[in-house]
Amino acid sequence: MQKKIVLACTQCLSRNYQTNKNTQKSDRLEVRKFCKRCNEHALHRETK
């Protein structure tokens, strides 16, 4: 089953992306994505 999550930039803390995640995984998702506010690629983490 999939669950909707929100990804937030670790540098500026803006919530830029939404995606789906498998609910069987318990660890938080971390992805390097482009942040519009920072204007560079940065690490984005799953928020609560």
* Span 2-39, pLDDT tens digits: 899 999 999 999 999 999 998 887 788 999 999 999 99
Output the pLDDT for position 26.
Answer: 74
Give the Cα separation of 4 and 28 in Å (integer). Answer: 13
Find residue 34's DSSP bridge partners: 41
Q: Note the pLDDT tens digit of each residue in 37-47.
A: 999 999 999 99
pLDDT at 4: 93
pLDDT of amino acid 20: 92
DSSP assignments along 3-46, one per residue: EEEEEEETTT--EEEEEEEETT--SPPEEEEEETTTTEEEEEEE
